[in-house]
Amino acid sequence: MALLPILRYPDPRLLKVARPVATVDDRIHRLIDDMLETMYEAQGIGLAATQVDVHERLIVMDVSAQRDAPLVLINPELVARSEDMDFGEEGCLSVPQIYDEVQRYTRVTVRALDRLGQPREIAAEGVMSVCIQHEMDHLIGKVFVEYLSPLKRNRVRSKMLKRSRDEARG
């Protein structure tokens, strides 16, 4: 297994739209293992392949308190969602140290292939529902800051650009 570099907002590669995974083969299994390791190391609850510059429809998640319940979603499709929505604070491994309120569907049902390539359907609410919607957005090139006001978004953008300049300077 290997840690993968995570793209940082506003890297334009985060805007790419992912294509479906064609076959759940050894290459995908390796990618899943590396993404899970990367997510756990970064203490995140979800990671989309887009964030590690692989533009295929694959998400890994773990919203459990014990960090022992990895969930893999390959080619996820939203099949149902609640009418009601909730605001909740979100962060993103591609936008470290930035947190803000985003409105999401309270409940979603998603259909996806699991690690073995078997189809499954998952009904989610709470943090899991938010996380699924957040990660699925990554697969269509959307980072959560796109939901913020232009003013806030520009502030985040400047902060991130300044941070990478500072880091480059060392």
Q: CA 86, CA 106: separation in Å to the nearest integer?
A: 6
Question: Tokens 């259909």 — which residue?
Answer: 111
| Rounded CA separation 97/165 (Å) | 16
> Which residue has the closest beta carbon to Ni ion?
92
Q: Which is nearer to Ni ion, 7 or 28 (CB)?
A: 7
State the Cα torsion 44-122-51-84 to the nearest 10°. -80
Size of the site for Ni ion (CB under 5 A): 1
Looking only at residues 26 through 45 of this chain, which bind Ni ion when binding is defined by CB under 5 A?
none
Half-sphere exposure of 37 (CA within 13 A, CB side): 11
By CB under 5 A, residue 58 contacts Ni ion: no
**Of 31 and 92, CB closest to Ni ion:** 92
Q: Which is nearer to Ni ion, 31 or 145 (CB)?
A: 145
The catalytic residue positions are: 135
For the sheet containing 46-48, what is the strand order? 46-48, 58-61, 71-81, 107-113, 119-125
Q: How far is the CB of 64 from Ni ion (least distance, A)?
A: 18
Q: Is 98 in the site for Ni ion (CB under 5 A)?
A: no
Cβ 107 to Ni ion, closest distance in Å?
20
Among 92, 102, 131, 156, binds Ni ion (CB under 5 A): 92
Q: Which residues bind Ni ion (CB under 5 A)?
A: 92
